[in-house]
Structure 1
């Protein structure tokens, strides 16, 4: 493929990586819909264009209007490589997407969550395949590397700019007074708004920069790594993510073992200089960031100048080290490298403020909280061990089985989340797919598994895999390290997709490729529809009355599985339509607590005490450790009791009041059980007042 085309492709990759990070890491599906269908459309469009170009080229060469005349002809005749340049290992995400599609036949916990995951994995597959079509020849690897570096500079540089107050972005810094979460009271979260993910990304980039520094064949590659490596290390420190720190340490050790002996000396020296530079930068950046409070322009000129001076000095230091190392070799240099690295670690301990040491030596309560997630996840897994319950299983169902009160919409393990969603079968397919891609990387450059492996290791104890940006970055590195022929081997000729015939393996290849095309087409259509629903809902925010209701109806028509739209529309719909509108949503999310709660309140408004109590009871059963949920149920039934008394319906009033008191008694009982387990779950003042009112009402009512 011409270099200019690859250059344009690398610009698109850099944009997609940077933009996905900027849009909150593409954690929220509403931000990702548009780009999902765009990526799938690009993949299919490029493949069709490439194969068509190959067909035309071979026709011209053979001067024959007949198809498939030349069995020896290949896509080498095509200007643009297509599906045939995509390795079989890249179809792993397609299998995951298909499994999510099949989950729709197995009564998933959430139809919307399952479809969203199918769309996501189709988009990931499209991104991976497009990357192999654009960069799979391995002819211009520096262009993809430049795209990764540019995106990394945007993510890391943007995060540091937010810390220093140079730019403003929502929740770029997580401020907290809880020393269990932060030693200094603030953690850098970046555009993704999550310190742990930012720390993991910074750690992976840090490891990659050391690899580039140790192997840089050109001045430009060396300079780019020298400029980014200390900011990456500084970002890692500012996130205060212990999991990311430990993952980065493991990555450093793995890199040390995998690089060659001459590279090992550089690895030690460059990492030692990075540690010193990052420690010094941290001293200047810490107070400036705390003073800025995330406000633009508040860090001060002196802190800005000092930080920039440290970063520039650090980058220049790498050039000096490179020149010095190039003139020396042998055992003495190795001993000096080890000594320098040991000294740098000791210096870092002295440079860093003592308060940050506490982050490593104590406050491990968050690890205990995650152990509760994992125990409850095991209970949930046992309900559907083979096939799982589809997308968003944990988010939809954990409140039903949680043993203690906690806030945990994410299970904090990407692999466990996959196990809950797709069961053992899905997890096995997932691990095999990743393993095949890593094998491809290992066979071409085994050091490539280090930054990739860092991302995969940390995801075992956090929800990094819930972010679209995570997968785009991971797959970009996989493409970068696995593109091109094997070392010492020849590039294998590839066949254009349009040529039929041939052996069974090639026929199977065509069938798999066409399956991917069909999947991308269907997923892109859903992505486009869901994106339209998001737009209609956004329009409804600025409208009122009938116009607002009409816009929400359009949104619901585009995405009938979205419970949030149903609840918002029900508030505007006539009373006689509300229950039917809400009940229809239970077909797609049968255990949706917001839907059940809204249904209970809807029936309470209509004076139907039996139905109101039934739906609110279900809502409490599926989410018994939510104070708001408990309070809403008690207050609603008390209000219904008062209304029934005013309407001279004493039997209904008595039933509603007794139900309110039963709900309150269960609330109190759960609070006592939580206290015995060392957790707080006190009844709310509103629920106490409602229970007291219901009790008075029962005392005032004559015996039935």
Structure 2
């Protein structure tokens, strides 16, 4: 009884942690990653510390290698999944030991993948019993209801959801002027998540239709999930959902006709709801809007019920009932498709700009990946590098492809591990005829064209579906491989015989090695939890500092850096409050952890310029501009600051330093002018950052040339330059 109670409590805690991940922007931001990750690790430690009631002194999580394969029937599928995840963790650990582009980004990836491993291990242990599997299924439906329901409530103004709706006047981005992002705050990823929940519910219908019981309840979720998916206006999510749905029908060809009959009416109602909300730009009048929602929802479900009864009706017209119902359903589906296409026809046909932007981004990412093709450069490789190597001034801190991001971070080896992982998930779900395969497939496919995997929640959903699929049979019953069942009786009997032998031979070497492995695993897991907690505390202190007065800010930021010296954002914020003499060593220490960080280089150049050290300032200005080429504010400011330093040295009688500062300023201006000219000469280019040659920078040409050529002294007093002529952009 105690074990069952602990089992249930751990299941509820696991689901609660995933809920926190979903509510906190899908586990996208660093603070949420560390907090939720530490929670998963502590939960796994709790379960590892529990004792089993079957005579074994302590149990291990399948697939972690903590118990001998002869003692317990370990599941091969889980070993593959956890093996690939542990392989990714090892890749990032190796990068962390070396010299990654960002130590903080690499540690974040270690926490993320450790969270996935902990979640999978705990979820699998819970799902191996009937009660636990039902708890996981209930948690899945509750999470879907929270994500979808909160988004729709925000549309009707009943819930305040900051950044839940993205408004834009650009028709290439949104046909209606508004797109639904929900709690994830990003419409494309939110669309993929809604597609996964929709397909899970859609392919749960066939068993219900066969038994003719509970059809109303099973079809009730189709309208809200479909409406939420449509309101995201994510063409990639729509296409991924269509491909995954086609794969599901290909696997279950017999289910096509009954599913079409049961789902056509709710889907058509969702299309009408989408049209009404899109016309209102996702801001409908509350009471009429809710009445419209209720009417379409009820009408769609009841119409689906009628079509199902028509198809299954008997009597003299029985031979015409099924074809008639199927034809009516096909007409409804076609009408729904026409409504959707009419609403987004301009954006659907005019997506050339988006495609060209993705093509440009992927081309630059591939060039970056080639620099370290096999092992990658560690976590946040793209974020740390794209400003230095982008071929055009586009905005893209994310690489918009989960697979390309993995390639950049961990190279071909890491990408192969992920491909093995996702391929095995799909293949195993197909092998066990799981209805969850389409829902898994849509998340895997859409990650190829967007940065879904930057949201930890997407990986958790993927693993959640996989665990539930592995733990169920085609009929939805529990797979009999739990700790209290006897699947594969032959191997189980062999295991019991070996256990009897081990009991009679207490000094048998494998038990000694088992204890060592168990202790090692607990130590590593505890160390990982402490790392996640330390990084989380650093992030919390950095956030608190933003709302405190200057004195308290400095103390909090310094404390944040004690918990995580690699926290570059805390370093940049703290540098603003310190004098140049203290700012320079602080920034140099931070550069050890992020050697190519453009803002650290820029802050260091500014600090040296405030101290009048023109040689160091010039070197760091060049480095900062090389790491952020298409930043016209930085280009202009560097020229102005070097011109000021040249004048100051000249009036102070330091002609050599004056000439060197002027020469560096002219070189920067020459490169700046050339870069702007080359961009203008391109036939078609993206200039999202509005990069161009500034008039203020051009006006410094004569000033710098005069200093370089030894012109007369300027008629002003020498002064230490303290502020640039234009504000810097962080």
TM-score (norm 1): 0.87
Asked if structure 1 preserves the Cα contact closer than 8 Å seen for 2:636 and 2:694, the reply is: yes
Moved more, 450-459 or 371-380: 371-380
Q: Which residue of 1 aligns with 2:487?
A: 491
Provide the rounded CA distance (Å) in 1 between the counterparts of 2:188 and 2:157: 21
Distance 1:140 1:331, change over 3 A: farther
Matched, 1:311 2:297: yes
For residues 179-205 of structure 1, give each alpha carbon's deviation from its aligned partner in whole angstroms, at most 9, with x where no partner exists. 111111111111111110011111111
Find the partner of 2:615 among 607, 610, 617: 610
How big is the shift at 1:693? Answer: 3.9
Matched, 1:656 2:669: no
Residue of structure 2 aligned with 1:396, choices 374, 384, 389: 384
Separation in structure 2 between the aligned mates of residue 220 and residue 11 of structure 1, nearest angstrom? 29
Map 1:212-227; keep pairs closer than 5 Å: 212-216=204-208, 222-227=215-220
Question: Which of 171, 177, 185 lines up with 2:169 in the alignment?
Answer: 177
Shift of 1:283: 2.7
> Quick one: distance in 2 between partners of 1:488 and 1:8?
22
d(CA) in 1 for partners of 2:200, 2:670: 57
Task: Say if 1:49 and 1:382 are closer, same or farther in 2 by CA, change over 3 A.
Answer: same
**Count of residue correspondences:** 680
1:40–1:123 contact (8 Å) kept in structure 2: yes
Q: After superposition, where does 1:410-489 map in structure 2 within 5 Å?
A: 410-483=398-471
Classify the secondary structure of the residue corresponding to 1:426. helix
Partner secondary structure for residue 26 of structure 1: coil
Partner of 1:48: 49
Say which is worse superposed, 19-28 or 508-517, in terms of deviation: 508-517
The 1:318–1:680 alpha-carbon spacing in structure 2 relative to 1, beyond 3 Å, is closer
Indicate the residue corresponding to 2:231 in structure 1.
238
Q: Contact between 2:224 and 2:270, CA under 8 Å: does it hold in 1?
A: yes
Is 1:271 aligned to residue 276 of structure 2? Answer: no
Q: Is contact 2:100–2:106 with CA below 8 Å preserved after alignment?
A: yes
| 1:254 and 2:247 correspond | yes
Deviation at 1:84, TM superposition (A): 11
2:20 aligned residue: 19
Query: Which of 353, 377, 381 is 1:365 aligned to?
Result: 353
Q: How far is the alpha carbon of 1:683 from its aligned partner?
A: 8.2
Whole-Å separation in 2 of the counterparts to 1:283 and 1:683: 35
Work out the CA distance in 2 between the residues paired with 1:360 and 1:506.
Answer: 63
Distance in 2 separating the partners of 1:142 and 1:46: 19
**C-alpha distance in 2 between matches for 1:234 and 1:407:** 30
Residue 362 of structure 2 corresponds to residue 374 of structure 1: yes
Tell me if the contact between 2:392 and 2:686 (Cα under 8 Å) persists in the aligned partners.
no
> Shift of the alpha carbon at 1:638?
3.4
CA-CA distance at 1:432 after TM superposition: 1.7
CA distance in 2, matches of 1:502, 1:444: 41
User: CA-to-partner distance for each residue in 1:335-376, whole Å, 9 max, x for gaps?
Assistant: 345423431233124544834222322223111111111111
Q: CA deviation at 1:269?
A: 1.3
Say which of 279, 287, 297 aligns to 1:301: 287
Secondary structure, counterpart of 2:170 in structure 1: coil
Check whether the contact 2:24–2:32 (CA below 8 A) recurs between aligned residues.
yes
Using a 3 Å threshold, how does the CA distance of structure 1 residues 6 and 400 change in structure 2: closer, same or farther?
Answer: same
Q: Distance in 1 between matches of 2:388 and 2:124?
A: 43
Q: Indicate the SS of the match to 1:412.
A: coil
Structure 1 residue matching 2:161: 3-state secondary structure = coil
Structure-to-structure mapping, 1:161-172, within 5 angstroms: 161-172=153-164
**CA deviations over 1:300-347 (Å, ceiling 9, x no partner):** 311221122212332344444455555469985653454234312331
* 1:335-350 correspondence runs (5 A): 335-336=323-324, 338-350=326-338
- Quote the Cα distance in structure 2 between the aligned partners of 1:146 and 1:667: 59
Aligned to 2:222: 229
1:116 paired with 2:113, answer no
2:371 match: secondary structure: coil
Aligned to 2:587: 582
Tell me if 1:703 matches 2:710. Answer: yes
User: Residues 180 and 332 (structure 1 numbering): CA distance in 2 closer, same or farther, change over 3 Å?
Assistant: same
Task: Identify the range of structure 1 (244-253 vs 280-289) with the bigger mean alpha-carbon deviation.
Answer: 280-289
Contact 2:41 2:118 in 1 (8 A): yes
**Cα deviations across residues 501-546 of structure 1 (Å, max 9, x unaligned)?**
9999999998877665444322211110011112222332233344
Q: Is the Cα–Cα contact under 8 Å of residues 660 and 691 in structure 1 kept in the other structure?
A: no
User: 2:187 is matched with which residue: 189, 195, 201?
Assistant: 195
Aligned residue in 2 for 1:295: none
Give the secondary-structure state (helix, strand or coil) at the position aligned to 1:174. strand
Tell me if 1:128 matches 2:120.
Answer: yes
- Tell me the distance in 2 between the aligned counterparts of 1:71 and 1:621: 55
**What is the deviation of 1:170?**
1.5
Higher alpha-carbon deviation: 272-281 or 581-590: 272-281
Pairwise mapping of residues 22-171 of structure 1 onto structure 2 (< 5 A)? 22-51=23-52, 55=56, 87-138=79-130, 141-171=133-163
1:674 touches 1:680 (CA, 8 Å); kept in 2?
A: no
Give per-residue Cα distances to partners, 1:383-423, cap 9 Å, x unaligned: 11111111111111122222122111111111111111111
Structure 1 residue 691 displacement after superposition: 4.2
Change (3 A) 1:454 1:517: farther
Q: Does 1:281 align with 2:287?
A: no
Deviations 1:138-176 (A, max 9, x none): 555333222111100111111111122221111111111
Distance 1:358 1:169 in 2: 29
Superimposed CA distance per residue, residues 653-690 of structure 1 (whole angstroms, 9 cap, x where no aligned partner): 44333433322222221122122332265987994324
Further displaced range: 657-666 or 361-370: 657-666
Q: Is the 8 A contact 1:265 1:333 kept in 2?
A: no
Task: Identify unmatched segments of 5+ residues in structure 1.
Answer: 59-67, 76-81, 293-298
Q: Which moved more, 1:125-134 or 1:534-543?
A: 534-543
**Which residue of structure 1 aligns with residue 640 of structure 2?**
635
Q: CA 1:134/1:592 → structure 2, altered by over 3 Å: closer, same or farther?
A: same
Give the direction of change, closer, same or farther, for the CA distance of 1:586–1:517 in structure 2 (3 Å limit): same
The 8 Å contact of residues 379 and 409 in structure 2, kept in 1 or not, is answered as yes
Secondary structure in 2 matching 1:115: helix
8 A Cα contact 2:557 2:570, kept in partner: yes
**Separation in 1, partners of 2:58, 2:523:** 26
Counterpart-to-counterpart distance in 2, 1:56 and 1:680 = 64
Tell me what 1:560 maps to. 565
> Given that residues 413 and 461 in structure 1 are in contact (C-alpha distance below 8 angstroms), is that contact kept between their aligned partners in structure 2?
yes
In structure 2, how many angstroms separate the alpha carbons of the residues matched to 1:84 and 1:258?
23
Report the Cα distance in structure 2 between the residues aligned to 1:142 and 1:399, rounded to whole angstroms: 48
